[in-house]
Structure 1
Amino acid sequence: MTYSTKLFIVLQGILFLLLSIFLQFPYVNTNEVELRKLLFHKRSYDRRVCPEAGITKVHTNLILLQIESVDEKAQVVTSNVQLICAWCDPYMSWNISRYNITELSVGSKHLWTPDVVLVNSADGKYSRNREHYALILRHDGYVRFMFQDLWKTICKVRSTYFPFDQQHCTIIIRSGSRDVQSIKFIQRRPLVGRSFIRGEWELINSYTEITDERVSDFGQVDYSLVRFTLILKRNYVHYFMKIILPFTLVSFVTLFTFLLPPQTGEKLTLNVTILLSLVIYLQLLSGYIPKSDDETPILTLFCNANFFLVVLSCIMTVYVSYLYHRPSTSYIACVPTHMKIILLDYLSPLVYCHVNKHLRNRQLLQHDMEEKRPRRLSSIEKHMCQLFTVTAPVRPHNHQAVELLKILHQIKAHIRSQWLIPLNSHNEYDIGNEFLKIDNRKRLDEWQHVALVLDRLFFILFSIAMPCTALLFVFPHSSIGNNFHSNLTNIKVQTSDAKCDLIYTPMIT
C-alpha cells in the first residue's frame, strides 16, 4: 500500500466523522425547535390565566443576600434579595423519551408568572427587574422563577441601643390581583449553600409565616400573605474601635487631673485640654449616630454623661485650686466647724489623707520660727538697768569715780529716752503682726488640707462614676428590652417543593 493510499484512507475517516457530527447537531436542534414551536406557537396559551384549575399552589422562598442600607430617620431598610417561586403548569409538559430534552430556559413573556407585589414597600416605583430573568421549564410542567432585586421596605428601626442594636424587620409579599381562591403561597424548601454577605449588618435568624388576611375592607376577599421576618444585628466592631474606645480613654484621663498636686497649677490646663478633645469627638460622632426623633441612642447619653463628668471635674478643679491658693489678705477666715468635722475628722482617714502628719510638720516649723525670733526689748532694758545700778553700801573713794558714775547715769537716761522706749513700742507692734501671721498660716494650712481631702474625694468618686457609665452603656443591649428573639423563631414550618410528575401526565407526547 502506497503512501498516497494511506493518506486517502485517513482523510476519508476524518471526513466521515465530521459528517456524522454535523448530521447529529441539526437533529438535536430540530427537536428543541420543534418542541418550542409546539409549546408556544402551535397551541393557544394565555399567560394571564392561572395554569391550574382551582387554586394554583406557588411554593416560594426568600434569600437575603445583603442589607444595603438602613435609614433610621426614614424607617426604611434597603435589602438585596432573591425571590424563588415554583409551581406546576401542566399545559407545558412533554414526553421526555421522544424529544430527549429535560428542561428549557424560557422568557417571562411566554409563561404565566405570579404577580408578586411588595406590601410594605417604601418605594413608589414598581420594579420591573423580574421581567429580565428567565424561567426554568421542566418536562413534567415544573416551573421555577428566580429573580434578584433591591427592595425598600418599611421597618420600625429602634436606635436606642446603637451600635449594639438588633432589628426585627419583615418583608411582606402577596399576589397583586389574585385572592386566596386563585393563588395559595406555600413555603418552599430552603436552598443549601447560600451565604449572607456580611456588611454593616449580620443576619442572626429568619423565619417565614404564611397567612390569609383581608387586605382592605372593600369586598370580602382574603389574600395569601407571606411574611419573611429577618432578625438583623449590627456589626459594632468598627464603632467600638474607632469611636467608643478612644472617647472612653480620653474621658478616663480626667481621673489623673485629681492626682496632680494643686501647687503645680497644671490641673485646670489638663482638664480644658480633655474637654476640647471631647468636643472634637462629639463632632465626629454626630455623623455616625442615627438621627431618630422618637428615641435617643444610648451612645448619645453615654457621650453626654462623660462630657458632663469632664465639665464637672473642671468645676471641681477650680474649686480645689481656690481653696488651696487662698487670697493673700491680712485676715484669712477660719474653716467652718461642720467642714472640719466632716472633711478633716471623718473623711480624711477614709480617703488616705491623714491630717496628723501634716499638722506635726507645721508645729515643728512654728517652733523653729519662735526660736529664731528676737528677744523682747524689756529683757534688754533689765540687763542695762542692772549694769548701771549701784548698791547703797558702795562708797566712791575719789571724785573721779563720782564723776564717772554721773556720766553713766546720764548715758542710761539717754539710752532709755532715745532707744528703749521707741524700740519697745515697735517691738510690741511686730509681735502682734507675727502672731497674726502665724494664725493666718494655721488657717491657710487648714484650708489647704481641706482642698487636698476634697481632691482625693473627687478622685474616688470619679473613679466609680466613669466605669459605671461605661458599664451602663455596654450591657443594656443584652436586656429584655432589646431581645427580639420571640417564640416564633422556634416554629417548625413544613417546607416542600412543587411535585408535578406525580400529579399530571405529559400534554405533548
Structure 2
Amino acid sequence: MSEVKTAGLIFICFLLLHGFVAALNCTSPTPESLLNALEKELFPKKLLRPVKRFSDTLNVTINIAVVGILGVNEKAQSLTTFIWQIMEWNIEGLSWDEKECGTKRVSIPREKLWVPDVHISEFMDEDKSPKTPYVYLYNTGRVFDDKPVRVVSSCRLEIYTFPFDFQNCSLTFEPYLHFASDIKMIQGYAAEAILAGSRRVIQTRGEWELADIKITSSTLEISDGTYSDITFYIILRRRPLVYVVNLLIPSCFLITLDLFSFLLPPQSVDRSSFKMTLILGYTVFLLMMNDLLPVTGETTPLMNVLFSVSLALMVASLLETVFITAIQFSSSQYSAVPPWLSVLVLQYLAIVVCLPPKKKNNCITVSIPPRAADTAMNSSVIYSRAFQSISGGTPLEKPPPELALDELRKLSRDLKAIRLQMDKHFQGSNTSQEWQMIGMVIDRLLFGLYIIFISVSFITIVSLWIWNKSLEG
C-alpha cells in the first residue's frame, strides 16, 4: 500500500514538473504517430483547464476582424455585423519536436480540446454563422482558434445628426463563467492594425462604412468575484449622399418655392391657392420619403425637426395669406385696431422689417356755407328756370323761396354724402388703412423669418457635411 502511495506522489510531482501534459514522443514523423501521442497525453484531459495548478491564470488573447456591416436597426437599437473571432491560448507543458513528429502545427477537432467559454455580452440573437470544427495546435502548445461569427448586438444609436451621424457600438468579449483569476483576456494586435486589416477584408459597401476601431480592457466586479473582458468599439459612419439627394434637396426646392410666393400680391387669390398646392405637394413628399427616415423613440433626428418646421412655416404662411386677403377685402368692416396691437406692430415690428408706417392724412375738407340772401336769390332763379323748362310756358313771376331753399339743402346734403362715400372708397378710412398696414408688416415679418430659417438650415447642413468629410479624411 505504501508503494502505491509513493508511486502516486512521484507521478504528481512529475506532472507538476512537466506541466499540464508532458512533451510528446512521436515514434515516427507521421500524422498517425502524432495523433496517437495526442490521444494518449492531451485528449483525455479536455475537461480540465490547461494549467499546472488551479491557482494559475490562463491568458486568452483575443483579436477580431470586421468582415461585413450587415445592417443597423434604429427601432430595435441593434447592430448586425459579421466578424472573424481569433482566440489564442497556451496548453501548459505541451510540446513536441518538429523533426521528430514531422510538423510544426496540426489541425484537430475543436471538441477534443478544452476551449474558453468566451462570449460577446451584447449578443441579442442566435449566432447563425457557419460552424468551423477545427483549430490549429502548434508544437509549442499554442492553440489558434479562428471562426466567423454573425453578431446581432445591442447598440445605443444616436441619430440626432442623421444623415451625418456616427455610431459607436461595442463588442465586449468576456468569459461566461470563469473569473479573472481563472481566465484573463489579453488584447492581441493594436487597434490601428485591426482597423487596417478590417478595411482590407471588409466585403459590404452599403449605407455604413467603418470609420474607426478602439479597444479597452477592464474588469467587471460583482459580489462573487471579478471578470476580465476586452471591449472593441466599432465606430461607423453613415454615407449621407442618398439622403441629401432624396430628402434634403427636394425639401429645399419646395421651401424655396414657398419663399418666392411672397412676391405675389397678397390680395391675390392665386397666392393662397399656390401655397395650398405647395403644402399638399410637401405632405405627399414626406409620406413617400417616410421609409428613408429612421424610427426611434429616444431621440428625434435633426432632419425630422427641419421637415416639421418647414411644414409649420408653410402652414403659417398660408394662414397669413388668408389673413391678409381678408384684411384687404373686409378691413372697412372691422372695428378700430387695439392700441397695444397698433403700437406693437406699427411702431416696433414695422421698424424691424424696415417698413415704416404711412403718415396719416391730416387734411380736412371745409365747406363754406353761402349767405342766406344769395341762396334765396339763386334758388329763386334756379327753380324759376326749372319750372319754366318743365311747364314749357312762361316762368312764375314769384317762386316760393322756402320751397327752393329746402330743395337746395337736400341737394347739398346728397352731394356731401356722395363725396364722403367716394373719399372712403378711394382713400379708405383710418381704421382700414391701419389694418392693411398691419397685414403688410406681418407679411414682411414672415418673409424675413423664412429667409433666416432657410439660411440657418443651409449653413447647418453644409457645416455638418464638412465636419463629416473632415473626420473621413
Distance 1:314 1:350 in 2: 22
State whether residues 120 and 154 of structure 1, in contact with CA within 8 Å, keep that contact through their aligned partners in structure 2.
yes
Q: Match for residue 169 of structure 2?
A: 169
Structure 2 SS opposite 1:158: coil
Distance 1:63 1:101 in 2: 28
Distance 1:49 1:443 in 2: 102
Structure 1 SS opposite 2:110: coil
Distance 1:237 1:160 in 2: 17
Q: Match for residue 286 of structure 2?
A: 282
Task: Give unpaired runs (5+ residues) of structure 2.
Answer: 1-27, 364-373, 386-391
Q: Percent identity?
A: 22
Residue by residue over 1:14-68, the C-alpha shift from the partner in whole angstroms, topping out at 9 and shown as x without a partner, is xxxxxxxxxxxxxxxx954334433444545222323342332221112222332
Distance 1:129 1:90 in 2: 31
Structure 1 SS opposite 2:112: coil
Among 420, 434, 455, which residue is 1:435 paired with? 420
Among 35, 38, 41, which residue is 2:36 paired with? 38
State whether residues 59 and 87 of structure 1, in contact with CA within 8 Å, keep that contact through their aligned partners in structure 2.
yes
Structure 2 SS opposite 1:299: helix
Among 379, 392, 410, which residue is 2:395 paired with? 410
Q: Per-residue deviation at 1:316? A: 0.7
State whether residues 83 and 151 of structure 2, in contact with CA within 8 Å, keep that contact through their aligned partners in structure 1.
yes
Residue by residue over 1:398-449, the C-alpha shift from the partner in whole angstroms, topping out at 9 and shown as x without a partner, is xxxxxxxxx9852787999999986884564144223222123212683555
Aligned residue pairs total: 411
Structure 1 SS opposite 2:257: helix
Structure 1 position 304 matched with structure 2 position 303: no
Alignment of 1:74-473 (within 5 A): 74-89=76-91, 93-123=95-125, 125=126, 127=127, 129=129, 131-189=131-189, 190-191=193-194, 193-195=197-199, 196=202, 197-214=204-221, 216-217=222-223, 220-326=224-330, 351=353, 382=378, 385=381, 410=395, 425-426=410-411, 428-443=413-428, 446=433, 448=436, 450-468=438-456
Residue by residue over 1:94-124, the C-alpha shift from the partner in whole angstroms, topping out at 9 and shown as x without a partner, is 322345433333332333322212223223x
Q: Aligned letter for 1:457?
A: L
Q: Match for residue 368 of structure 2?
A: none
- Which structure ranks higher in relative contact order (CA pairs < 8 Å, sequence separation ≥ 6)? 1
Structure 2 SS opposite 1:410: coil
Q: Per-residue deviation at 1:312? A: 0.9
State whether residues 115 and 177 of structure 1, in contact with CA within 8 Å, keep that contact through their aligned partners in structure 2.
yes
Structure 1 SS opposite 2:455: helix
Distance 2:445 2:79 in 1: 50
Residue by residue over 1:66-114, the C-alpha shift from the partner in whole angstroms, topping out at 9 and shown as x without a partner, is 3322333333222211111122336654322345433333332333322
Q: Match for residue 24 of structure 1?
A: none
State whether residues 355 and 441 of structure 2, in contact with CA within 8 Å, keep that contact through their aligned partners in structure 1.
yes
Distance 1:354 1:183 in 2: 80
Q: Aligned letter for 1:149?
A: V
Structure 2 SS opposite 1:312: helix
Q: Per-residue deviation at 1:320? A: 1.1
Q: Match for residue 400 of structure 1?
A: none
State whether residues 51 and 91 of structure 2, in contact with CA within 8 Å, keep that contact through their aligned partners in structure 1.
yes
Distance 2:157 2:344 in 1: 51
Distance 2:347 2:174 in 1: 77
Structure 1 position 50 matched with structure 2 position 54: no
Distance 1:222 1:334 in 2: 80
Q: Match for residue 68 of structure 2?
A: 66
Distance 1:118 1:278 in 2: 45
Structure 2 SS opposite 1:109: helix
Distance 1:334 1:222 in 2: 80
Task: Give unpaired runs (5+ residues) of structure 1.
Answer: 1-29, 364-377, 390-406, 486-509
Distance 2:320 2:47 in 1: 79
Q: Aligned letter for 2:46?
A: R
Q: TM-score, normalised by structure 2?
A: 0.71
Q: Aligned letter for 2:247?
A: I
RMSD: 4.3
State whether residues 379 and 408 of structure 2, in contact with CA within 8 Å, keep that contact through their aligned partners in structure 1.
no
Distance 2:449 2:416 in 1: 45
Q: Per-residue deviation at 1:173? A: 1.7
Distance 2:60 2:306 in 1: 50
Are the structure 2 counterparts of residues 227 and 266 from structure 1 closer, same or farther at C-alpha, using a change threshold of 3 Å?
same
Distance 2:84 2:179 in 1: 24
Distance 1:113 1:336 in 2: 85
Q: Per-residue deviation at 1:353? A: 5.5
Q: Aligned letter for 1:307?
A: L
Distance 2:301 2:263 in 1: 33
Which structure has the bigger radius of gyration? 1
Distance 2:286 2:343 in 1: 42
Distance 1:253 1:425 in 2: 57
Are the structure 2 counterparts of residues 140 and 455 from structure 1 closer, same or farther at C-alpha, using a change threshold of 3 Å?
same
Q: Aligned letter for 1:213?
A: L
